[in-house]
Amino acid sequence: MLPPVVTGWLPLILFGVRGPIGSLLLEWFDIRLVFTSAGASLACAVMTFPVMVRAVRLSLEATDPGLDQAARTLGAGRLDRLFHVTLPLASPGILVGAIVAYATCLGEFGAVITFAANIPGQTQTLPLAIYAALQVPGGEARAAELSLVALTLALIGLLLSEWIGKRLNAALGR
């Protein structure tokens, strides 16, 4: 496990305006990721990717290979089997993985502050706003409000994840 700050520092080195990828993006496409809202999204994606991949992988492994074989014997091609058999069967795990990754991203601090900074109104995320509120004398009330928002969003994400997972499993007859 890498600390989140290291996970934010590596994209900073790669996607910074002088980095190997960032300099090409800036020169060829005039795209700058570092210290932007797109950069905050990239930092969150890098941090949550392992969480999402694990959920998707477990869901794909749980699909019945016999159904894929049956579709193949009936003449279904590789893409047909992927889009009409494998992905629908794995859809609960894929969707739950995406929701969990989104909820995890809501709490990401280290990678975002390292790669995108803490620019209010531009790259400031909820955890960064809570941190900034706690750095100001008398900011505890604002930090408590923002913490309540974070708790509410986390609970909504958890409940939504469970609800969607159960609905998709029921639709698939599991």
Residues 8 and 114 sit within 8 Å (Cβ to Cβ): yes
Residue 101 is predicted with a pLDDT of: 87
Residue with tokens 């609905």: 167
What b/e readout covers 1-26, taking b as 16+ CB neighbours within 10 angstroms?
A: eeebeebbbebbeebbeebeebeeeb
Residue 174 is predicted with a pLDDT of: 73
The tens place of each residue's pLDDT in the chain, 174 residues long, gives 778 888 889 999 999 999 999 999 999 999 999 999 999 999 999 999 988 999 899 989 988 899 999 999 999 999 999 999 999 988 888 888 888 888 888 888 899 999 999 988 888 899 999 999 999 999 999 999 999 999 998 888 888 878 887 887 788 777
- Which residue ranges form the domains of the chain, and what is each CATH number? 4-171 (1.10.3720.10)
Angle between helix axes 37-61 and 87-106 (nearest 10 degrees) is 140
Distance CA 89, CA 82 (A): 10
